[in-house]
């Protein structure tokens, strides 16, 4: 809220209740829903979590979100995951999937018995809508997140892939202990959480502190992007005004390291002669 009011100077806010009523997501701050494990046991624990959430009927659809495509593929190819292939359709949804295939996979992901492995980028804006009342009666689609999001907004989006529009749904986490080190959570603190039975309420404040510490660096990056955007706008203006020298200067700066001096010289000559549109 402080960033919105001070950085972007937003002064008025509107709060609108959901037309679907209260959210029916099943998620609690306990070891039943949050599992922190070592690298050695990471894939094993993910498989266990999938098995646990599908039992006893084996009909509940499970969406498993990964931090990267590489980790997703490593899990898919792992020996541990082979034990789950007899549960029906297994699908992968990542950035490499075509638009046509994506629509098909999204529909299949909420069907009975399906397991879908998904990269976090697809956790935003992808509508996994389940119309099967028998699945809703079993508790709805289950979402497993295998990493702790640096940004709360990303986590909210991933959670929101289930329990949509007044439907039921559940959510759990399988986390790598080394992935929490950036939040200043070491093995001793992990043990403390195991002993206390509280996980999310301990990790979330440290996540927020980490984000606050990273924010100034992110803003530096935004400043660089804004400068590049301004240069690109100036380039388009020079093109419209037929200001050749300024336009060539922009192209030279952007392409010299890739194209070399000879190409730049030739390009400049062609541009002046009107051969480059």
Residues found in the chain = 277
Fold of 19-212: Rossmann fold (3.40.50)
Q: What is the pTM of this model?
A: 0.80
State pLDDT tens for residues 10-49: 989 998 887 777 889 999 999 999 999 999 999 999 999 9
Q: What is the pLDDT of residues 112-170, one digit of tens each?
A: 999 999 999 999 889 998 999 999 999 999 999 999 999 999 999 999 999 988 899 99
10: buried, middle or exposed (CB in 10 Å: 19+, 13-18, 0-12)?
A: exposed
Domain edges within the chain: 19-212, 219-272
Distance between CA 166 and CA 103 in Å, rounded?
A: 23
């Amino acid at each position: 809220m402080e960033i919105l009011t001070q950085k972007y100077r937003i002064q008025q806010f509107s709060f609108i209740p959901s037309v679907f009523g209260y959210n029916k997501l099943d998620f609690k701050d306990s070891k039943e829903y949050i599992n922190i494990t070592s690298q050695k046991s990471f894939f094993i624990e993910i498989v266990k979590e999938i098995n646990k959430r599908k039992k006893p009927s084996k009909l509940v659809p499970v969406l498993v979100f990964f931090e990267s495509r590489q980790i997703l593929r490593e899990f898919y190819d792992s020996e541990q995951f082979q034990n789950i292939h007899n549960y029906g359709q297994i699908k992968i949804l990542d950035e490499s999937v075509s638009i046509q295939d994506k629509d098909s996979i999204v529909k299949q992901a909420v069907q009975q018995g399906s397991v879908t492995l998904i990269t976090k980028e697809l956790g935003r804006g992808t509508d996994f809508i389940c119309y099967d009342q028998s699945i809703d009666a079993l508790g709805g689609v289950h979402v497993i997140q295998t990493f702790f999001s640096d940004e709360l907004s990303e986590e909210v989006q991933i959670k929101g892939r289930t329990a949509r529009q007044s439907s039921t749904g559940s959510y759990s986490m399988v986390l790598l202990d080394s992935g929490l080190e950036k939040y200043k959570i070491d093995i001793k603190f992990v043990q403390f959480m195991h002993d206390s039975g509280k996980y999310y309420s301990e990790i979330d404040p440290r996540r927020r502190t980490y984000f606050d510490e990273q924010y100034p660096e992110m803003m530096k990056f935004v400043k660089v992007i804004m400068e590049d955007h301004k240069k690109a706008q100036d380039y388009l203006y020079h093109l419209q005004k037929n200001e050749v020298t300024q336009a060539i200067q922009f192209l030279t700066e952007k392409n010299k390291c890739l194209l070399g001096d000879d190409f730049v010289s030739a390009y400049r000559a062609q541009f002046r002669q009107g051969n480059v549109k």
